[in-house]
Amino acid sequence: MVPRSQKGMMEHPMTLSLADIFAARNAISGIAVRTPLVPSPAMTEVAGAPFLMKLETTQPVGAFKLRGAVNAVSRLPEGTKGVACCSTGNHGRGVAYAAHAKGIRAVVCMSQLVPQAKVDGIRALGADVRIVGRSQDDAHAESIRLCESEGLIEISPFDDPHVVAGQGTIGLEILEDCPELAMLLVPLSGGGLAGGVALAAKAINPAIRVIGITMDRGAAMHASLKAGHPVEVEEVASLADSLGGGIGLQNRLTFDLCRRHLDDVILVTEEEIYRGMQSIYFDERMVAEGASAVGHAALLAGKLPKASGPIATILTGRNVDMAAFTKVVTGEDVPLGDVTVKGQRHAA
């Protein structure tokens, strides 16, 4: 892969290979952990096939984003003054953690839509936080400005081959633990996770069905795939806030990866995400973000195609706004900007 330039921008290659993902696994070993793949008896009963959960919630920063961040930071040129990034929360945590481990400065730019709990968590890891505008695009513009004015190097949350390769290590682990997997459900946002995991999974087993799942409002990658090119969407508040943000009109990597390797994209409503979060809490006894719950949400809503064998989903993170989470698990209404998700009790 092509190294970063001293100006802080990345010259992206046109392709990413399985070899890059194996190299990333070596680079992140000892900082990001190999997470467990565990069965869900409750969802197995619903699916009529073995249903497995990849617990990225057990990473040191509580989310999968640590993998890509560590791999990207490990590739920085000697003498790097610091890094900057834009984030909806979890990427910022990963970059802050990885930068602290390397002893360099990290600046994380976020929009006003990011929950305060995620902002506080990033500050606690020693990063400088900048709150800019009301969109990921606004935060990204500030990240670029910092790189140009202060000599920092940008680490994209998704459109960076080192980041994508790091996220792709999840696919390696899942297929090693369950070689007979028939369907893999991947939360879909900017495509760093979905593109990397799908590339790894398809390279190992071309017959596996990889499905991206995202919210039905403000889903940039889905809209872009439908249009045939990257497009902008209006960002809105969501229970799956980690899936918010655009993919960049100049996207050079993840749009193509998702277009080539995802078999389908499924949209879930806020009400369905709400039920998915409840299911993970009550049936799995776990705390997880709304983005982690989209696989459960799609299954419970009857939106998944029939699988010929085991199904796996990725629980991407646990860094949820606990005030909103408490409303969900107690069956209360949850206001999300101009809409309110009506409360509903979990059916035992």
The model carries a pTM of 0.92
Nearest to 143 by CA among 227, 85, 102, 88: 85
Residue 326, pLDDT score: 97
User: Per-residue pLDDT for 12 more than 70?
Assistant: no
Residues 314, 114: Cα–Cα separation, whole Å: 22
**Residue located via tokens 């399985």:** 18
Residue 136, pLDDT score: 84
Nearest to 16 by CA among 227, 194, 155, 213: 194
Residue 6, pLDDT score: 33
The mean pLDDT value of the chain amounts to: 94
What phi, psi does 84 have (nearest 5°)? -135, 155
Position with higher pLDDT, 14 vs 158: 158
Q: How confident is the model at residue 290 (pLDDT cuts 50, 70, 90)?
A: very high
Q: How confident is the model at residue 15 (pLDDT cuts 50, 70, 90)?
A: confident
Instruction: Give residue 214's identity as a one-letter amino acid code.
Output: T
Is residue 109 a contact partner of residue 96, using CB atoms and an 8 Å limit?
no
Instruction: Give residue 141's identity as a one-letter amino acid code.
Output: A
Nearest to 184 by CA among 152, 157, 158, 209: 209
213-259 pLDDT tens trace: 999 999 999 999 999 999 999 989 999 999 988 999 999 999 999 99
Q: What is the mean pLDDT of residues 44-50?
A: 98
* Cα–Cα distances in angstroms (integers) from residue 72 to residues 6, 18, 21, 32, 168, in the given order: 15, 16, 12, 12, 13
The beta strands (E) that lie in the chain are given as 37-39, 51-55, 82-86, 105-110, 128-131, 153-154, 183-187, 209-215, 264-268, 311-315, 334-336, 339-341
Residue 347, pLDDT score: 81
Q: How confident is the model at residue 7 (pLDDT cuts 50, 70, 90)?
A: very low
User: Per-residue pLDDT for 13 more than 90?
Assistant: no
87-99 pLDDT tens trace: 988 999 999 999 9
User: Per-residue pLDDT for 346 more than 70?
Assistant: yes
What phi, psi does 284 have (nearest 5°)? -100, -10
* Structural domains for the chain: 18-63+160-337 (3.40.50.1100), 65-154 (3.40.50.1100)
Residue 334, token pair as written in the block: 């949850």
**Residue located via tokens 């629980």:** 315
97-133 pLDDT tens trace: 999 999 999 999 999 988 898 899 999 999 999 999 9
Instruction: Give residue 38's identity as a one-letter amino acid code.
Output: V
Residues 46, 50: Cα–Cα separation, whole Å: 10
Q: How confident is the model at residue 1 (pLDDT cuts 50, 70, 90)?
A: very low
Out of 14-23, 47-56, 170-179, 187-196, least confident range:
14-23
Residues 181, 201: Cα–Cα separation, whole Å: 10
Residue 16, pLDDT score: 94
